[in-house]
Amino acid sequence: MSAKDNKSDLAARAASYKARSAGIKRRVVICAGTGCVANGSLKVSAEFEKECAAAGLDVTVELKPESKGVFVSHSGCQGFCQMGPLVTVLPDDIMYTKVKPEDVAEIVKETLAANRVVERLLYVNPADGKHCRGAGDIPFYKKQHRFVLKECGLIDPENIDEYISRGGYEAARKAFLEMTPAGICADILKSGLRGRGGGGFPSGRKWELTRVQPGPKKYVICNGDEGDPGAFMDRSVMEGNPHSVIEGMLITARAIGADEGYVYVRTEYPLAVKRMRIAIADAEKAGVLGKGVFGTGHDFTLHVMEGAGAFVCGEETALMASIEGRRGMPNPKPPFPAQSGLWGKPTVINNVETLATVPLILAMGAEAYAKTGSKGSTGTKNFALTGHVANTGLIEVPFGTTLREIVFDIAGGVTADGGKIWNEGFKAVQIGGPSGGCLTAEHLDLPMDFDSLKSIGAMVGSGGLVVMNKNTCMVGIARYFMQFTQNESCGKCVLCREGTRQMLALLDDIMEGRATKDTIPLLKKLALAVQKGSLCGLGKTAPNPVLSTLRYFPEEYAAHVEHKHCPAGRCKALAKYEIVPELCKGCTLCSRKCPVGAISGEPRKAHKIDGAKCIKCGACAEACKFKAIKGGK
């Protein structure tokens, strides 16, 4: 196939898809990302097919030349995960939330047949009580800039023709047929694109360092080993728009002279693995991947490899060891992967989000792309937003967006433990997962970008954002992440293997009342030693949650150590249950519920709790109908 024929083939595929879509009057897009699938979206999809047919509507799930009427299709993650399963009706721009199979008949009858909106299934803005017809009316979406994620909630991730019909693979074709490798590297450098996996290294520089290495064999690796607790940014892109990742890898391959690549995906992401493999097979059939890419003499073979779930394999040298069949453990650098990577050959490793951004840069131009974001941090960033906020899910904002805008505008505000809005209860945000740190109220107006976060000892990381209210124990948060890091340490270097273990033990002492005045200085000294002496980046950043909470919440640590008191009331071992005599009615219910007989008193008289016997289980407080028992949480 000649280069000219291949260009014509892309155009022919796009024209064919548009022709098959011409008879479609309405499209029902059902979110089929992992979250919505887990909540039953595939059952909702099946119900749409059934109910449309029962209502006498023409319905199709696979576009053909004769297709008309209603097209029921799937998409990847639409972002508003808390409100799933999500169903979008086009071109009406109606978004229905929390749709169940039993709701489908009403949607078919009212919306598809009678052009009426089912208001009870619309999102209700808690700020004003108004029903939001579509995504454009919902605050969660209005302040985002969905760039990389734009197609994820719209297109069918298992249909290459739809991707092509929206300009897909045109940027890769341009890279192979109209640009030089040096020119591609220069454009990516000019765009200001920095790695989205955590380190923020300039992608164009990494590519150029690899391009100039001698030798005919080079590799491109997509790092989809997303291991941070609560993070699902890369998973959502692979599930929702896998061809964008493949196209980014094609452009990278052309830039550095690689003929082979690997997509390394966590085995816990079965849907992402499935869709990446389908996309690769379809791209090979279309002639944009494999032998003679775009009718040229260049080959690029792509493989999907499932990782075994080790957090350390997110580190690039450990990841390469895993691909080579060895135990995933990091190696010291230099040499860097650009010099000696996979099987000793020059290698570029970028994460999913970085690679999915590359085709968009070539399509719009480096200078245009660089206008979005902030100085030194161009473009947008995906964040997985969780914790004590009204709206959780997957968001995308330009670099430079403030934490205040994310928490109070996009996320809808801070919530109390019961779910009610409690904006004055904002306490902190953990950013960057186990490798990141805490941001507090004083950082609410800090621009979220690489350099601003680095200046306060935090980092963008892979993009996890966990919002916490004032009922959160920050010592407990530090312990949670330290427990994770300690479990995931590969054990290769002593400082990480033993240091994280000892840090965890010290945090346990603090939370369980065994700490002394020497515990906190020792914890800080140990954290700094682990940070300085660990072999890889994961070990070096493991102490960050401890150091940042020590820095911003010293009084909370002091309360645990000096007064054996948890201000948030979350540390069970430090809880002190007491009965308020004025409120106690002497009903004896608490004493009957106490498993250790720590409560005494006569009927109809105030009872007492023996602190020496109390195991702090909280059964008494839960049983008391008069709220006479104070302490715990």
> Could you read off the pLDDT of 332-364 as tens digits, one per residue?
889 999 999 999 999 999 999 999 999 999 999
The share of the chain scoring above pLDDT 70, in percent, equals: 98
Q: What is the set of domains in the chain, with CATH numbers?
A: 9-134 (3.40.30.10), 160-370 (3.40.50.11540), 373-472 (3.10.20.600), 475-562 (1.20.1440.230), 575-630 (3.30.70.20)
Q: Which pLDDT band, with edges at 50, 70 and 90, does 2 fall under?
A: very low
For residues 120 and 100, give the distance between their C-alpha atoms in angstroms, rounded to a whole number.
12
User: Quick count: other Cβ atoms within 10 Å of Cβ 233?
Assistant: 26
Mean pLDDT of 123-148: 93
pLDDT in tens, 576-621: 899 999 999 999 999 999 999 999 999 999 999 998 899 888 899 9
pLDDT band, residue 569 (cuts 50/70/90): confident
Structure letter (DSSP) for residue 568: T
**Torsion-angle region of residue 262: left (phi > 0), alpha (psi -120 to 50) or beta?**
beta
Do residues 173 and 294 lie in contact, with contact meaning Cβ atoms separated by under 8 Å? yes
C-beta separation of 60 from 69 below 8 A = yes
Mean pLDDT of 519-530: 97
Rounded to whole angstroms, the Cα distance separating 302 from 249 reads 9
pLDDT of residue 354: 97
Token pair for residue 20? Answer: 């098959």
Tokens representing 475? 């010592």
pTM to 2 decimal places: 0.92
Q: Which of 262, 66, 79 is nearest to 153 (CA)?
A: 79
Identify whether the C-beta of residue 276 lies closer than 8 Å to the C-beta of residue 302.
no
β-sheet bridge partners, residue 467: 387, 429
- What is the pLDDT, as a whole number, of residue 1? 40
pLDDT score of 4:
46
Question: What's phi and psi for 336, nearest 5 deg?
Answer: -85, 160
- What is the gyration radius of the CA atoms in the chain, in angstroms? 27
- Cβ-count burial of 502 within 10 angstroms (0-12 exposed, 13-18 middle, 19+ buried)? middle
pLDDT 10s digits, 20-76: 999 999 999 999 999 999 999 999 999 999 999 999 999 999 999 889 999 999 999
Say if residue 425's pLDDT is above 60: yes
Cα separation, 373 vs 382, whole angstroms:
13
Retrieve residue 202's tokens: 């300039």
The pLDDT of residue 6:
61
Closest-CA residue to 27 (of 94, 72, 66): 72
Neighbours of 416 (CB within 10 A): 13
Task: Check: CB of residue 600 under 8 Å from CB of residue 546.
Answer: no
Q: What is the mean pLDDT of residues 503-527?
A: 97
pLDDT band at 458 (very low <50, low <70, confident <90, very high): confident
Residues 6+ apart with CB under 8 A from 297: none
pLDDT tens across 294-304, in order? 989 999 999 99
229 Cβ contact partners less than 8 Å away, ≥ 6 residues apart: 433, 434, 464, 481, 484
The predicted pLDDT at position 437 comes to 87
| Two tokens, residue 18 | 């548009």
How long is the chain? Answer: 633
**What are the φ/ψ torsions at residue 606 (nearest 5 degrees)?**
-60, 135
Q: Which residue has the tokens 């009331």?
A: 569
SS3 category, 340: coil
pLDDT digits (tens, 9 = 90+) for 172-220: 999 999 999 999 999 999 999 999 987 789 999 999 999 999 999 999 9
Q: Rounded to whole angstroms, how far apart are CA atoms 317 and 155?
A: 35
Task: Please report which confidence band the pLDDT of residue 7 belongs to, taking 50, 70 and 90 as the band edges.
Answer: low
pLDDT for residue 3 is more than 50 = no
pLDDT tens string 232-284? 999 999 999 999 999 999 999 999 999 999 999 999 999 999 999 999 999 99
- At 387 the three-state DSSP class reads strand
